[in-house]
Chains A and B, each alone.
Chain A
C-alpha cells in the first residue's frame, strides 16, 4: 500500500509569491494534518482536517490556509511568502481525528524562499 505522498518534494520561490503544497493520505485515512519543520527544530502544527472540516489550527498567520477534498487529499496554501517560511512541510494522515491513532507522515515538501 502506498504511504502518504506529498508534492512537490522540493521547490524554490521568491518573497511575495504564493505556494501550493499537496498531500495524498493513506487509502482509508480521513484525517490530514500539516506541520512546518524549520531546520534544526521540531515540527510545528499548522492545521488538521477531518472529513473535509478544519478540526485544529496552530499559531500561524492567515497567510496559511488549507483545505481537504472529497477524496481526503489536501492542499496547503501559503500567500505572500517570507524568508522565514523556508522549511520542510510535512503532511500526516490518520484513520481517526484523535491522537489515539498513529500519525503516518509523508517525506515532506522542502520549500526555499529567496
Chain B
C-alpha cells in the first residue's frame, strides 16, 4: 500500500531564507510522487512531479524536489522564500495504475515572515 508522511504540520521561515518541506513515502511499487500547493480558499495546483526520470525535479515558482530511494524521501526545497509562497503544501503518491487516485499527506502550512 502507498502512503506519504509529511513531517511538520507548520513551517515558518523568513523571506529570503531556504524553504525545506519534508515528505517520506511508502510504496510497494516504484512510486510516482507529487507536490501540490493550495492557497487559501483555492483548489490544489501541481508544483512538480517525479515519474522515474531524473531524480531532481524542478517545478514552478522556483521549487524543486529530489527523489532519494535510499531514504524513501521526496523533500521540497526553494533556495529563497518569498511572501507569496505562504500556502499549504501537500505531498502525494499514486494509489495504483490506471487511476487518478492520489494519496495525499496531511499537509504542511508554510508561513513566510518579512
Contacts and interface: CB of A to CB of B under 8 A. Distances in A.
Interface string B25-65: 00000001000100001111110010100000000000000
Nearest to B92: A42
B10 to A, nearest CB: 11
Contacts, number: 75
B44 A45 contact: no
Determine which residue in B42, B100, B106, B107 has the highest number of CB atoms from chain A within 10 A of its CB, and name it: B100
Main secondary structure of the interface of A (DSSP, over half): loop
Nearest to A31: B100
B73 to A, nearest CB: 18
B101 A97 contact: no
Contacts of B105: 42
Given A48-B101, A55-B98, 20 more contacts: A31-B100, A42-B105, A55-B99, A56-B96, A56-B101, A92-B44, A97-B100, A99-B32, A99-B95, A99-B99, A100-B51, A101-B100, A103-B46, A103-B100, A105-B44, A105-B45, A107-B41, A107-B42, A107-B43, A108-B43
Interface of B: 32, 36, 41-46, 49, 51, 90, 92, 94-107
